[in-house]
Structure 1
């Protein structure tokens, strides 16, 4: 229309276009002679990230990548806020359903029930009466016999929304994988008519929560998916049926931009994988990515820092294109989450959506010089790893190699944490010297559910057992304890101790050589503490002798805390050949004093 205002062209003639060369020259000038290579970020992924990116970075990628536009989780939701509710073994689940109702009433968009056993006693009718199955988004993690639960759910309602997480290949490795295929085909067949339900979840969080790199989490997830796409189709089920039933579950860590790039890269590679199976590109756009905040860097020390970690992790998940998100309560490592911590976890996602408006734009990273380059690099590295694993026979044949690679990168992280190169706020840097724990260290270390696989475990367990030792001194408790620090803790302790010494001593003191299967322990009496080491067999023998709690099956579980009277424990430690850890003339007292900054 004639009276419609026309926008004036926007230009800034006073600002000239700055070339890459001009920016690089300015960087060199600001460095005042320092080597620009010192600004490179040597990532744990094995590739370097530049300190500066410009438009030429996109030109090296060829055509500018198209924005990734996943289908929204719901008409009014870019992603779903899905808290976890755990169902006790052999339980009707009434309490869990009641807890889920509260979460949904207070802002959650769905719920994820996690069963530690089969769900044979779970009251489906009670669930359906309070959370209608046809309108409620519900996930079910069921380790055994998922088809039985699905059958009962479908008997209650002919429509379901949500997902099933069972993934026997990842959770059981190569142990009788073929025996699980029939069950997986059954759950896919049962749910083929359900457009809002995913029956086959690839649980890539297994790799991320054990210290795996983002490259490994993507690459190995594709290996698992490829195995299902090859093994499950038969005369009654096509490869398209299997692909349609799939979704991915990824753990989101704290490296903000890498995590955004990880989700973007996995979407691109999913399309590539489906193309390799002659499936149409349209099928890739329906991929659901369920995400959860990672346990790998979660801590018991200064636990409120977990809230800050989970905030960046949640932001990375939604900006990267997750379709559902679980935020873990900050205190879940050391107690049953409280109503307070569950509310904070649930509200984090709500704030990101309602106040930060993060769901308004799909793929906001599209076109970013840095993030497009990072996405492309991560995708290339992950695809190369996927191909290398497939060349070894794929999964499950390569499981031994996969687990060894995970062990290597986790040990590298333990080393970086011990030396301070990798910071865990509140654990190895910026710590609370006089921290008061919100839990009983002794009770926590006795718990079989305590997660000892995390990056911070060697650091925090040393602090916990030191606190236990001084508490026993004050109480004049005449019992002794042996605490398992872990397979890599001695090396981490020694390297951290070495950094406290003068430079000339650091270079002259050789660290003791320990066998690969050596376990690190701390032996504590009311009078003294001693850092020691022992083999797995020696530790098993000691555990059996002192009749530790929770040692019903020592072949699969090493008790973290052993306790007995002082005389019995002292004699057993000597009899089973435990050795004190020392560096030249430095013994435990010297090592612990320096680690705690008391010298």
Structure 2
């Protein structure tokens, strides 16, 4: 029946569509009027057609479904263990522990978790013995553990190597001693949150990964990428797909497994202090893009994360957004839902090609760490961030409730539990750190000052 239905219509080629559009423009230039340029230099056309489409990207294949993740910062082990168990009963499917102290009792921390639970350990220290303990627990009880260690990411974020050294030798010994768990991750979210465009984001993550491939003996476990997802919906779907394509090509050169493991989170860069409920709308589309782009685990950002400490209500809403996508919108039922969409396939190809070209430039110039050391990476991210900031300041980059349709009566100074702006941390550093900064910070600081000054008088 489908064949009969479609056979009733004559095929229309892209040239015919373009001629019709050109006629309707009544002399206006097609490219200037309808083709817009993204910050990555990609021209977005008004339509995409099968006769111009590239071949589908088989390397993006993923399994249906995603895990709903939940962050826990470990201070008190008993409380964190109880909280993790409770979160699993309320919809979470993966736990992401952030641990700052090697003395934490790892066995007690996971003691209440079912063996099938997916657990991430983001370590803010380097310790072979601690990872050995995790490996032993995983062996004994059948847990799936990912240990997120990233010395290069620590250098980029803090400006210094962790514990006074580059830690590549320690990381190699850790991998050799712990064959049952993945021990290396790439904190790519840092670059996006600092203002890198998508081509930079992809190229820097790839070069970051290649630094490990060149310096340490990576075993056959999947490398983990932590990725931030912004508000440009279709581009973000394509970005995650392009990451898999690029990583597959790179890993193949080292005879490593060509699949990677992606943890995706909404970006903090476009989140706002005022009109904070709009953040829920932003994170909804960002989580959708993460799922459709093929993320393995999605960890949502609570709408009030900028100014409130961790709280049950904010986290429950964030978790429910993902539960709705999974159970009410059936986002876990289809594998590779974006395959065959000409627009997304084209974006994926262009982002991958541009990122690969930038990656090759970095490698030809000495590699990612070398470019961090000489400040090139920081400078390029800063330039990209400044361009985006200018667009925001001019109202061309819109954040609803902040630089467009703001609620002038909104007051926030009474509700701040956290400092929502970049904190100055004067210290001696080896390199200039990559600084994460939100677009709305200057506007929000001015509004807060205006609130506080009348009260002080």
Q: Give the alignment's TM-score, normalised by structure 2.
A: 0.90
Secondary structure, counterpart of 1:269 in structure 2:
helix
Q: Which residue of 2 aligns with 1:202?
A: 186
For the residues of structure 2 that align with 1:268 and 1:446, how far apart are their CA atoms?
A: 35
- CA separation of 1:33 and 1:9: change in aligned 2, threshold 3 A: closer
For the residues of structure 2 that align with 1:307 and 1:442, how far apart are their CA atoms?
A: 19
Give the one of 4, 22, 47 matched to 1:52.
47
Q: Which residue of 2 aligns with 1:323?
A: 296
For the residues of structure 1 that align with 2:423 and 2:302, how far apart are their CA atoms?
A: 19
Q: Which residue of 1 aligns with 2:328?
A: 355
Q: Which residue of 2 aligns with 1:69?
A: 61
Q: Which residue of 2 aligns with 1:185?
A: 172
Tell me if the contact between 1:79 and 1:322 (Cα under 8 Å) persists in the aligned partners.
yes
Q: Which residue of 2 aligns with 1:306?
A: 279
Instruction: Choose between structure 1 and 2 for higher RCO, CA contacts under 8 A separated by at least 6 residues.
Output: 2
Measured against aligned partners, the alpha-carbon deviations of 1:38-76 in whole angstroms (never above 9, x if no partner) come to: 222211112221121111221xx3x44336222x4xxxx
Q: How much does 1:443 deviate? A: 7.3
Q: Which residue of 2 aligns with 1:148?
A: 129
For the residues of structure 1 that align with 2:51 and 2:113, how far apart are their CA atoms?
A: 53
Give the one of 133, 152, 166 matched to 2:149.
166
Q: Which residue of 2 aligns with 1:265?
A: 242
Q: How much does 1:151 deviate? A: 2.7
Q: Which residue of 2 aligns with 1:576?
A: none
For the residues of structure 2 that align with 1:123 and 1:136, how far apart are their CA atoms?
A: 18
Q: Which residue of 2 aligns with 1:11?
A: 5
- 5+ residue gaps, structure 2, are 426-434
Secondary structure, counterpart of 2:173 in structure 1:
helix
- Structure 1 stretch 437-446 or stretch 167-176: which is displaced more? 437-446
For the residues of structure 1 that align with 2:2 and 2:456, how far apart are their CA atoms?
A: 77
CA RMSD of aligned residues (A): 2.4
- CA separation of 1:439 and 1:183: change in aligned 2, threshold 3 A: farther
Give the one of 395, 418, 434 matched to 2:409.
434
- 5+ residue gaps, structure 1, are 1-6, 234-238, 474-599
Q: Give the alignment's TM-score, normalised by structure 1.
A: 0.69
Tell me if the contact between 1:118 and 1:146 (Cα under 8 Å) persists in the aligned partners.
no
For the residues of structure 2 that align with 1:270 and 1:446, how far apart are their CA atoms?
A: 34
Q: How much does 1:155 deviate? A: 4.5
For the residues of structure 2 that align with 1:57 and 1:136, how far apart are their CA atoms?
A: 44
Tell me if the contact between 1:257 and 1:371 (Cα under 8 Å) persists in the aligned partners.
yes
Q: Which residue of 1 aligns with 2:428?
A: none
Measured against aligned partners, the alpha-carbon deviations of 1:9-29 in whole angstroms (never above 9, x if no partner) come to: 442444332221221122223
Q: Which residue of 2 aligns with 1:381?
A: 354
- CA separation of 1:44 and 1:355: change in aligned 2, threshold 3 A: same
Q: Which residue of 1 aligns with 2:342?
A: 369
Q: How much does 1:182 deviate? A: 2.3
- CA separation of 1:452 and 1:434: change in aligned 2, threshold 3 A: farther
Q: Verify: 1:407 aligned to 2:391, yes or no.
A: no
For the residues of structure 2 that align with 1:288 and 1:447, how far apart are their CA atoms?
A: 30
Q: How much does 1:217 deviate? A: 1.1
Give the one of 217, 221, 229 matched to 2:213.
229
For the residues of structure 1 that align with 2:288 and 2:403, how far apart are their CA atoms?
A: 25
For the residues of structure 1 that align with 2:420 and 2:112, how far apart are their CA atoms?
A: 38
For the residues of structure 1 that align with 2:110 and 2:270, how far apart are their CA atoms?
A: 37
Q: Which residue of 2 aligns with 1:104?
A: 88
